[in-house]
Structure 1
């Protein structure tokens, strides 16, 4: 049996699930493992079944039993920046349990099943709140809708700042806005951020809708609204990456940072069709 560990917030869960869908094409005995999510208190826990109506569980096991099995019967395969290569994951192994750990943040892992991934990640519109429903009805009626995601919040914490928080700051957003406005006439920015006051004080947006109502377990509706925009400015966040990717329009413009983390260039995760701009 091949098990794929699920962890992280919604964006990371989606990358892992897309990788699982690709693996399922090759192996009938592959399962996602939600054991760690049973104790995951960051973000909003496992969300795939709530946001997309996917199955709640594929494989769960008692944590203590799992540790014993890992020691005796598991062969653990860690993702080591394969940049989308499936070779380490599709080879034959003699162990009874092959356990895959990683985030698989690259479109190449599921490039040949994009339609299946989009179908799996179809938002349940019956669950959207009244304000989101109202905004959806107004999309595109007064200018070209462009999403812009400014992630601050946890990215400003000391434990995250050096690796990821310092990447998309004011210089990046000014560069991104300049690049977008050279390409799009009459944009209306739909702004998604945990710190909208900072945005209002620092970014000169002539026309903007500040999305401030999707809180707590409704946060996924921000991603859904992003995906309905015509174009996108993302930050180094898998949440806005998916918000842009799920827009199926082949002519969309997506602006992304040329650096994703302090050690990882944007090219390792940003699709080749998207436009990368400097962060300074």
Structure 2
């Protein structure tokens, strides 16, 4: 049995955690997540017993039971086997417990080094959401135009600090360079903007209204819509990362920011997060 105390986060973060759990789990093994509400909408039936807590139940477990009861049992008394991400590395520590059949997982596990891509490729995504995503994208893109997903995370990034640098929001030059590359590939691109601040992004990019549209769907639909586009321009967001992962295919071009959140220091952060399926563009030299 696997018990995964997820550290919160939205859909992109949860998908990385689900991918690690799916890689670790043995066939038919029961997996319990303390919080996996967003990802399990996309992955119905992906886990045996893939339950999660919500609302006050999660807060009770996260703030009381885990720090004062469960962690001491795992870390100090070694009752269960501990599987944890070693901070700032792509390494995983496994420390066997007295009850070896119960594994307690801690970490974010963001990057391809943490999961088996073949297992994840076999995930059965929610068919209803897939159908909705296709219809929403088709409704946005005019006939004869080539859909290009452009994801730019703004909003809460202004409050983040990464490696001593504030605000990892990508500069406009990165997107301008990627757009130029796309124009060199496609004579009639149509840019579909995905963002937490879509109007601001549309204004910053200064794209002609006749060559762009804005998606205002929930994350579970947005990530699939991006994957259905012919080409993708990713931001340093875990949601965009998974859109690129599912968006791979022959003839498709995917751009991603080099160094990810650590671009101001030119250090990949989190370690291992750079997607191997994308062409990296340096945000500073773009």
Q: Please, what TM-score do these two structures have when normalized by structure 2?
A: 0.75
Q: How does 1:177-256 map to 2 (within 5 A)?
A: 177-206=179-208, 207-214=210-217, 218-256=218-256
Q: Secondary structure at the match of 1:236?
A: coil
Q: Cα gap change, 1:119/1:28 in structure 2, threshold over 3 Å: closer, same or farther?
A: closer
1:122 aligns with 2:125: yes
Q: Cα gap change, 1:28/1:128 in structure 2, threshold over 3 Å: closer, same or farther?
A: closer
* Cα deviations by residue, 1:135-155 (Å, 9 ceiling, x for unpaired): 336758322211000111111
Q: How far did 1:107 drift?
A: 1.7
2:41 is aligned to 50
Q: Cα gap change, 1:203/1:121 in structure 2, threshold over 3 Å: closer, same or farther?
A: farther
2:11·2:38 contact (CA, 8 Å) conserved in 1?
yes
1:12 aligns with 2:13: yes
Q: Cα gap change, 1:213/1:201 in structure 2, threshold over 3 Å: closer, same or farther?
A: closer
1:271 aligns with 2:275: yes
Structure 1 unpaired stretches of 5+: 38-44
* Cα deviations by residue, 1:209-262 (Å, 9 ceiling, x for unpaired): 322432xxx332111110110110000001011111112414321101112123
* Cα deviations by residue, 1:35-63 (Å, 9 ceiling, x for unpaired): xx3xxxxxxx7112323324673476972
Q: How far did 1:65 drift?
A: 4.5
Query: Aligned partners of 1:221, 1:28: CA distance in 2, in Å?
Result: 29
Query: Aligned partners of 1:134, 1:211: CA distance in 2, in Å?
Result: 11
1:95 aligns with 2:86: no
Q: How far did 1:274 drift?
A: 1.3
Q: How far did 1:271 drift?
A: 2.8
2:17·2:109 contact (CA, 8 Å) conserved in 1?
yes
Q: How far did 1:158 drift?
A: 5.6
Q: Cα gap change, 1:16/1:32 in structure 2, threshold over 3 Å: closer, same or farther?
A: farther
Q: Cα gap change, 1:197/1:137 in structure 2, threshold over 3 Å: closer, same or farther?
A: closer
2:258·2:280 contact (CA, 8 Å) conserved in 1?
yes
User: Size of the alignment, in residue pairs?
Assistant: 260
1:142 is aligned to 144
Q: Which has the higher helix share?
A: 1
Q: Pairwise CA RMSD of aligned residues?
A: 3.4
